[in-house]
Structure 1
Amino acid sequence: MTYDAVLLVSFGGPEAPYEVLPFMEQVTAGRGIPRERLEEVSQHYRLFDGRSPINDQNRTLRAALEAELAAQGDALPVYWGNRNSAPWLESELRRMQADGVERALCLVTSAYASYSGCRQYREDLARAADAVGPGAPQLDKVRAYYNHPGFLEPQADLIHAALDELPEEARAGARMVFTTHSIPRTMSRHSDYEVEHHEACRLVMAAFPGRAWELVYNSRSGPPEVPWLTPDVNDHLTDLAAAGCPGVVVVPIGFVSDHLEVVYDLDIEARATAAGLGLPFARAGTVGTDPRFVAGLAELVRERHAGAPQRALGTRGPNWDACPVDCCRVPGQEERPTVASAPPPTRRGAPTAPADGREPSS
């Protein structure tokens, strides 16, 4: 199946101080978060002059992806729309419609399955297409890419670079602390979110045989009585320090760029926790616009647009292209239309592990 364009889909963020509180209200609409809590979290943005880094990162990623697609022989235009801030998805779909785009492939800046990282984006896209009305581009979404080599292979280099930042005496015994965004346990139980993260960590750690690691969580929000995934990264650092750990490398495996939940929650909060504990701390970078990641995203597009081979590390194989109808639903939540839904497909065959024990690539 061929496409006229690619739509990069992301979370969004404020770009000026006056946008911060309206952005927070947009993100939390319908969740009953007290205004004082929104104002408290808004202060995180003010430490960065009221401007989230995420939109600039997506501008750079959009340009890099468009150039990579052209270099691979598919000169598709790449548009960009956000869930929670300009450029809004509806506005971008109208622009695509005016440009004559009839069918677009959507690439979300989330590598994993979950309600908030996949299904909600598909709901947002369906809502935006409905608002545009007849003639809106038909939209499909690329598969989850948590185990794609373009996402995972740069991670080992990023960890090596972070290890070099630790004091020499802390490097040999340093712990790898992988972290991702916490989500409610109810949401996690109805998706492969935890399974996929553990698999991604395991695959990356093949480059560091014998070194200890854990997966922890950051950026918890919501009412305290609602269970979310734990342990929190700060609690875990406290436990490691108490156990005599010589140092840590915190690896934001759940994120593709250094946006606010990385630079505040990890570079400021977690780093301060470690400093207070006397625990040597380094933070690995995110894949951002690493050429291997950008090339991997282009491969994901070309799988669907040009029939390029599918690649995935590990034994789970590539994820499905069309999500099952009930994929990543939250029980009790109102049913909403989505794009790229289909009857439950069969997951593609998993590759067989080579005899020498290396992680395979299909």
Structure 2
Amino acid sequence: MLNMGGPSTVPETYDFLRNLFMDGDLIPLPFQRVLAPLIAKRRTPQIEKQYVDIGGGSPILRYTDYQGAAMCALLDELHPETAPHKHYVAFRYANPLTQETARRMREDGIKRAIAFTQYPQYSCSTTGSSLNELFRRGRAGEMGEVEWSVIDRWGTHPGFIKAVTQNVEAALSKFEPSSRSDVVLLFSAHSLPMSVVNRGDPYVLEVAASVNAVMDQLGHSNPYRLVWQSQVGPSAWLGMQTGEAIKGLARLGKKQVILVPIAFTSDHIETLYELDMEYIKEGKELGMEIRRSESLNESPVFIRALADIVSQHLSDFSSGKIDPTSVQMGLRCPGCKSATCGQQKHWFARGGR
């Protein structure tokens, strides 16, 4: 189960930030090895305070472990021919890091594995970065001999869309019926540097497809927009930013808003601090009634969706209907210049050989 991760305790914050800023797939920087530790050190006190404010660390590992264990229990029923199933968490920037997970897999003697991204929508800077790191560990033999296949995107899977839609409907129910149809839905996803977008990354298209699928389920009952959050650094990032959208809606007289985290499946700092403590507070100061749709966390509908995705993948792969990687994953961004990306895609397409 591949994801960005987050520091489970406040003292882990610097290491998390250093690892994040060292990743050129996510945040391309000149002189990365020199600048990344400096930027991380400068930002650590501020981010540590935010983690203290949300309870002393990120809950993303706890939720991912819960989701993984519940998913595997369902998989044992849905696909008994490959049981027992076991989940591993491989975070990109926080413990358990991919290298630690690779060591555990080798010790456990794993021979067949699925690289299952926990980012519903694909981006080279998120799923691609995690797969690059998994490839580096696999090529170095750190996991032993493992046959791999990949679930690289699932942003329009009916179970995922149903789980998100249910949470939006629950948030809408908290508004007065007379004004409920006027509530603006702001679907908020993590932004990307424009340098990533402009090389042909599919993330924007795939997030928009998720939003459209949710709105179809809602019967297009409300006005909505897709906005972007969590910009880091001075370079140009994809907009409009969520905070600016809230200010703009207030100026236009739209006083009721629901924030919908569409690219995050578990609560972490972007939802618990940025959305809940920054943006909702700003909205209230502008006289707005602003709420957030819950993250998927322990949603049984979502966990069933994860199990269904893997079960279908196992069935299709074992019957020869699909290759180790999807057709879409095999296409590099037209502007891609990363040698690692090309090597990674070729390696996974051959089942990790």
TM bucket, shorter chain: 0.7 to 0.9
- CA separation in 2, counterparts of 1:302 and 1:54? 24
2:163 aligned partner:
154
Contact kept in structure 2, 1:65 and 1:297, CA below 8 Å: yes
1:25 aligned partner:
18
Task: Tell me the TM-score normalised to structure 2 length.
Answer: 0.84
Q: Deviations over 1:226-279 (max 9, x none)?
A: 211101111101111111113011111111111111111101111011111111
Equivalenced residues, count = 324
Q: Does 1:242 align with 2:290?
A: no
User: Quick one: structure 1 residues 97 and 193, their matched pair in 2 at CA, closer, same or farther if it must change by over 3 Å?
Assistant: same
Shift of 1:329: 7.5
- CA separation in 2, counterparts of 1:330 and 1:120? 16
5+ residue gaps, structure 1, are 1-7, 310-319, 344-362
Letter of the structure 1 residue corresponding to residue 210 of structure 2: A
- CA separation in 2, counterparts of 1:307 and 1:153? 23
Task: Tell me the TM-score normalised to structure 1 length.
Answer: 0.82
Which structure has more helix as a fraction of its residues? Answer: 2
Percent identical residues: 25
Instruction: Say which is worse superposed, 212-221 or 324-333, in terms of deviation.
Output: 324-333
- CA separation in 2, counterparts of 1:173 and 1:43? 36
1:47 aligned partner:
53
1:273 aligned partner:
282
Equivalent residue in structure 2 for 1:261, among 270, 273, 279: 270
2:322 aligned partner:
none
Shift of 1:134: 7.4
Q: Does 1:165 align with 2:165?
A: no
Instruction: Say which is worse superposed, 25-34 or 99-108, in terms of deviation.
Output: 25-34
Equivalent residue in structure 1 for 2:70, among 60, 64, 70: 64
Q: Deviations over 1:129-187 (max 9, x none)?
A: 23444724233211310010011011221111111223555423111111100001221
Shift of 1:289: 3.2
- CA separation in 2, counterparts of 1:72 and 1:38? 44
2:210 aligned partner:
200
Equivalent residue in structure 2 for 1:216, among 227, 237, 245: 227
- CA separation in 2, counterparts of 1:322 and 1:42? 41
Shift of 1:321: 1.9
- CA separation in 2, counterparts of 1:143 and 1:41? 30
User: Quick one: structure 1 residues 171 and 43, their matched pair in 2 at CA, closer, same or farther if it must change by over 3 Å?
Assistant: same
2:4 aligned partner:
11
1:1-362 to structure 2, matched below 5 A, reads 8-29=1-22, 30=32, 32-33=35-36, 34=39, 35-74=41-80, 75=83, 76-133=85-142, 135-167=144-176, 170-189=179-198, 190-206=200-216, 207-222=218-233, 224=234, 226-307=235-316, 321=326, 323-328=328-333, 331-333=336-338, 335-336=340-341, 337-338=343-344, 341-342=348-349
Letter of the structure 1 residue corresponding to residue 78 of structure 2: Q
Cα RMSD after superposing both structures? 2.4
Q: Deviations over 1:300-342 (max 9, x none)?
A: 2223322289xxxxxxxxxx72554552486455545425644
- CA separation in 1, counterparts of 2:182 and 2:282? 19
- CA separation in 2, counterparts of 1:288 and 1:330? 35
User: Quick one: structure 1 residues 149 and 163, their matched pair in 2 at CA, closer, same or farther if it must change by over 3 Å?
Assistant: same
User: Quick one: structure 1 residues 17 and 329, their matched pair in 2 at CA, closer, same or farther if it must change by over 3 Å?
Assistant: farther
Contact kept in structure 1, 2:137 and 2:143, CA below 8 Å: no
Shift of 1:73: 3.0
- CA separation in 2, counterparts of 1:108 and 1:158? 22
Shift of 1:103: 2.0
- CA separation in 1, counterparts of 2:149 and 2:327? 8
